[in-house]
Chains A and B, each alone.
Chain A
Amino acid sequence: MEMEAAKQIGAGIAAIALGGAGVGIGIIFGNYLAGAMRNPSAAAGQFTNLLIGFALTEFTGLLGFVVAMIILFG
């Protein structure tokens, strides 16, 4: 049962990565909005870059999530 507890704690720690990803995605969308407010005409052209940035940032969080899942169920 101690092993089980350690697994649960480890999974919880691994899930902290998602917090970082959340902050990062927030920064990306926030800065995109700030830029779009300053120069709305350029906003549409950067939407693809926004999504790519979102995907790349999200990946770091997802790694933490996958690690948590592997700890819990793997």
Chain B
Amino acid sequence: MIANLKAMAAHVAAGAGEASDHAEEAAGLPQLDVSTYTSQLFWLAITFGLLYLLLAKVFLPRLSALLEERRDRVADDLDAAAGLRSEAEDAEHALTAAMADARARAHAIVAKQREKLTAEIDAETAEAEAALDARMAEADEKIEQRKSEALARVREAASDTAGAVVQKLIGVSPSEADVARAIDSASGKA
């Protein structure tokens, strides 16, 4: 095994020697090899210049137009959405207004109806009251009439009674005038 390793070491050393030979051939840091500079600068100028021109004149304007278009489109869509929204809001306002209107009208109708009913009720009440008053007055009149009739009859009865009593007592039938005068004086009249 040790012999094996030794052989390997020799092998590797030989390889390293070869590698160092190779490095000498490359001679130092390749970046510092001035002889390659002109070619690199030349091709860089071509590549970078071409790339810059193509990007600046073709691709970036296209990209920017694309993004612009999308932004416009989005803005338009947003505008449309805002428009629709304001429309919806208008509709809502109209609805609210219509509702309020209808409610007010309903209120008005109810109030009018109530007024009308109240007036009718008032009128009917008044009519009924008038009828009642009339009937009451009629009744009063009747009562008064009956009363006076009754009173008249009382006087008649009194004079009759008084005549009869006088005749029974004194046997003389008094004249009607006397009796009336006596009754009047008795009843506080005169």
On whether A and B touch (CB less than 8 Å), the answer reads yes
Q: Mark B21-61, 1 if CB is under 8 A from A, else 0.
A: 00100001100100000000000000000000000000000
**A residues in contact (CB < 8 Å) with B:** 69-70, 73-74
A-B residue pairs in contact (CB < 8 Å), sample of 9? A69-B29, A70-B29, A70-B32, A73-B23, A73-B28, A73-B29, A74-B28, A74-B29, A74-B32
> What is the CB-to-nearest-CB distance from A52 to chain B, in angstroms, rounded to a whole number?
24
What distance in Å separates the Cβ of B23 from its nearest Cβ neighbour in chain A? 8
Closest-CB distance, B189 to chain A (whole angstroms):
120
Q: Which residues of B contact A74 (CB under 8 A)?
A: 28-29, 32
Chain B 126-160 residues near chain A, CB threshold 8 A: none
| B23: chain A residues within 8 A (beta carbon) | 73
Per the bound structure, the CA–CA distance linking A74 and B27 in Å amounts to: 8
- Distance in angstroms between the alpha carbons of A73 and B33 in the assembled complex: 11
CA distance A73 to B32 in the complex (A): 10
Q: What would 7 more interface pairs be, CB under 8 Å, given A73-B28, A73-B29? A: A69-B29, A70-B29, A70-B32, A73-B23, A74-B28, A74-B29, A74-B32
Residue of A whose beta carbon sits closest to that of B26: A73
State A73–B23 Cα separation when bound (angstroms): 9
Cβ of A69: which chain B residues have Cβ within 8 Å of it? 29
Alpha-carbon distance A44/B71, docked complex (angstroms):
25
Which residues of chain A come closer than 8 Å to B32, judged between CB atoms?
Answer: 70, 74
With a cutoff of 8 Å between Cβ atoms, the chain B residues found around residue A73 in the complex are 23, 28-29
Chain B nearest CB: distance from A68 CB in Å?
11
A29 to B160, CA, bound (A): 146
In the complex, A74→B33 CA distance in Å? 9
Residue of A nearest to B30 (CB): A73
Of all chain A residues, the one with the shortest Cβ separation from B23 is A73
Q: How far is the CA of A74 from the CA of B32 in the complex (A)?
A: 7
Whole-angstrom distance between the alpha carbons of A56 and B13 in the complex? Answer: 42
Q: How far is the CA of A74 from the CA of B28 in the complex (A)?
A: 4
Cα–Cα distance between A5 and B42 once the two chains are bound (Å): 39
By beta carbon, the residue of chain B nearest A72 is: B29
